[in-house]
Structure 1
Amino acid sequence: MTQLCLDQLFGNKKSAPLILINDSIQLSALPLLCEFSQRTLETDHHVIVLLTETSPTVWLRSAASSLKKSKVHIIDAYSDPHGWEWDTPLVHETDTGGSSSLVRLTRLTEFERHVLPLVLEWINKAPGSLIVVDALNPLAQLSTYRTYRFVKALESLATDTIRVVVGYHMDIRPLSAVQPLPPLSESLNRLASVIITLNQLKAPTAQTESQARLTGFVAQDTFSYLQITSNHVARGGVGKIEWRRKSGKVLYETNGFYADSTTGRLVVVPASQLGVSDKEDHEEDADDDKDMPTVDPTANLSFNLSLTDEQRKTKENLVLPYMKAQQVEIDGMSSSSSVTTGGSIYYEPDAADDFDDEDPDDDLDI
């Protein structure tokens, strides 16, 4: 049985230097980032994580067991990013168990200057590593260009044993007086080798189902951002994957996932198992348009553009002049006995075409 793409990415089965997870308020990328970290720690590789929106305590509880914390290196840009409590830009600490490396970044405005040297130092001490950024948006609020350059620097460190996984909130736009061209989201999509776009499961109700069955139209609530399935990982989620291989082949696949109630780990399943059809996977927008009732554009005009049955019958029986000429030509050819099935070319040489084999340049005026 072929393994699903999301499961291959979790287990690092094939090359994927930079993995970009596009999430939204409807479904967070944090469960997938934790699963990437747990799968990496199971292979005795190290995990280097930059936290901008997640507490280190929450991260360690979700992404690392007590036996694997020694292989976790955390750069905490969440607790004190503006230096309200610490004067130095970097504060080296350890967690309560005294096992994982924890560095507090108190100068978020200088993130490239302090983060990249730490990442290089930890990479050189580990045979294999996973570099994780939980959310790029706090960095993008400072500068979209610097954020892209930072991700580009991390991507340049990727090898067969070093991977980079970053999360990006695609529903949040960077605060900028001038909109960057192209936007950061498009630049990151071009840079990444794997793009995972997360979507929540649809939550149909009896009312919407009956309405769609009777009218063929499903009303969309414009101002409804959250549903009962939003960020409910135990219920499940959908990830649309675009995987660009080294060979140049691009693989598209939609996988479902849900959190196991016993272990809390993510289980990857086919999207159809969560009630997402194949047509809905690849053509969601087209499928929404298909559900709309067909509208006749000539229905409410002040003049008539349609034909009656009698007019349509007259139009079909009308013989146009060029059709008569073609019919006469066909009849004349069929009545002639000298008609052949192929074309013929007749050539009559004139005086200037009197070629002399002994003097081929006779026609040149020299």
Structure 2
Amino acid sequence: MTSLCLDQLLNNKKTSPFVLVNDTIRLSAFPILTDIGKRAVDETKSLIVLLTETSPSSWLQQFAPAQHGNIYIIDAYTDPHGWDQPTTIALNKNLVSVSDINNMELISKTIIQQAAQTPNCTILIDSITPLAMISQYRTYRLVKTLESLTTDAIRLVIGFHSDIKFISKTGLNMQDSLDRLASVIIKLESLKERTYLEAQAALTGFTSQDTFSYLTVTSNCIAKGGIAHIEWRKKSGKVTYESNGFILDASGYLTVVPATQLTGVVVPEPVESVDDDAMQLDPKMDPTANLSFNLSLTDQQRQQKENLVLPYLKAQQLEVSIDEEKKNSGLIYYDPDAADDFDDEDPDDDLDI
């Protein structure tokens, strides 16, 4: 049985250089990002994390203490504007404190230096949205630079708040720009809550609208599960679309399940193409089954039909035979010269008299 796309992405079973996780306020990308990070560290890979919306202590709580040595954190959350300390970037053993988040070039340089020291690693950004609020162009350059580092051994995973709309003067927004760069796009969706109004609509047939439905009890409730809509662009040019469900299990990892297991909505399977000769019609659906006359052909009639030579075929064969006869027959071609120009009025014109 073929494993689900989300399970392949979490375990990095197939090539996925740049994974973009689009979340909303109803379902955060944090569980997906931490699960990818934990699985990468379990495979003895290094994890380089740029934190803009998560504190380093909260991030490290998701991992076992023995794994902290393989995690390199670039902290742009604690003091991003240098209010508590000078505007410098101090490199410790496993922690880099960013006190000027506007200096994206220095952040990019720090990530590149760390990736050069650990070639087999996963580069992860919990949210690129705070950087995009400063400058969309510089943020795109940062993502483009990190995307150029990706190989079969180096993987880039970025979280983005898709429900925050950025205004661009050039007409290209941040969402479309990131979608063009990503090889895998994951759009998260929370489970639909069965509200009182929906229950009444099922009983009465009357559907009313909620006056305010920003958050529900299933929003960010990973214990109940979530839905991930995946667009996977392979190197071969093939694009795979799939929707998977995920639930947080007791071990702290995400369990990937079919989306129908959580939503209860059954998606029809794609219809496979069937050869016309191999397809058999149901007698009940055959329009010629109950006619008073016969429209089908017997084997003998079908054979006679195939052996019949139509008149236009005879004419074509006759033209071909005439052309071949002209090519194969011996013909003499005479090309007269100037001295052979006979005049009927003066037949002795060629005599020198």
Range with greater deviation from structure 2 (217-226 or 117-126): 217-226
CA contact (8 A) 2:260 2:267 kept: no
Distance in structure 1 (CA, Å) of the matches to 2:77 and 2:228? 27
Tell me which of 241, 248, 253 is aligned to 1:259. Answer: 248
Q: 1:23 to 1:209 in 2, by over 3 A?
A: same
Q: 1:101 to 1:195 in 2, by over 3 A?
A: same
Q: CA deviation at 1:131?
A: 0.4
Q: CA deviation at 1:220?
A: 4.2
Deviations 1:197-244 (A, max 9, x none): 0000001135413414542x6444363110000000111000000000
Distance in structure 1 (CA, Å) of the matches to 2:244 and 2:334? 79
Deviations 1:295-331 (A, max 9, x none): xxxxxxxxxxxxxxxxxxxxxxxxxxxxxxxxxxxxx
Q: 1:208 to 1:54 in 2, by over 3 A?
A: same
Which runs of 5 or more residues in structure 1 are unaligned? Answer: 94-99, 283-340, 346-356, 361-366
Provide the residue aligned with 1:294 in structure 2: none
2:28 counterpart SS class: coil
Provide the residue aligned with 2:88 in structure 1: 89
Aligned residues: 282
CA contact (8 A) 1:45 1:127 kept: no
Q: 1:105 to 1:236 in 2, by over 3 A?
A: same
Q: Aligned letter for 1:78?
A: Y
Provide the residue aligned with 2:235 in structure 1: 246
Provide the residue aligned with 1:209 in structure 2: 199
Provide the residue aligned with 1:349 in structure 2: none
Distance in structure 2 (CA, Å) of the matches to 1:66 and 1:208? 46
Which runs of 5 or more residues in structure 2 are unaligned? Answer: 271-309, 316-331, 336-353
Deviations 1:1-38 (A, max 9, x none): 21111111111100001000000000000000000000
Q: 1:33 to 1:180 in 2, by over 3 A?
A: farther
**Would you say 1:274 and 2:273 are equivalent positions?**
no
Deviations 1:92-131 (A, max 9, x none): 34xxxxxx611110111112x2222221222222241000
Q: Aligned letter for 1:6?
A: L
1:68 counterpart SS class: helix
1:135 counterpart SS class: coil
Tell me which of 193, 197, 200 is aligned to 2:190. Answer: 200
**Would you say 1:114 and 2:81 are equivalent positions?**
no
TM-score (norm 2): 0.74
Q: Aligned letter for 1:202?
A: K
- For the aligned residue pairs, the C-alpha RMSD in angstroms reads 2.6
Which structure is larger by alpha-carbon Rg, 1 or 2? 2
Tell me which of 223, 226, 249 is aligned to 1:237. Answer: 226
TM-score (norm 1): 0.71
Provide the residue aligned with 1:101 in structure 2: 94
Q: Aligned letter for 1:118?
A: T
Q: 1:65 to 1:141 in 2, by over 3 A?
A: same
Distance in structure 1 (CA, Å) of the matches to 2:268 and 2:195? 18
Q: CA deviation at 1:343?
A: 7.4
Provide the residue aligned with 1:224 in structure 2: 213
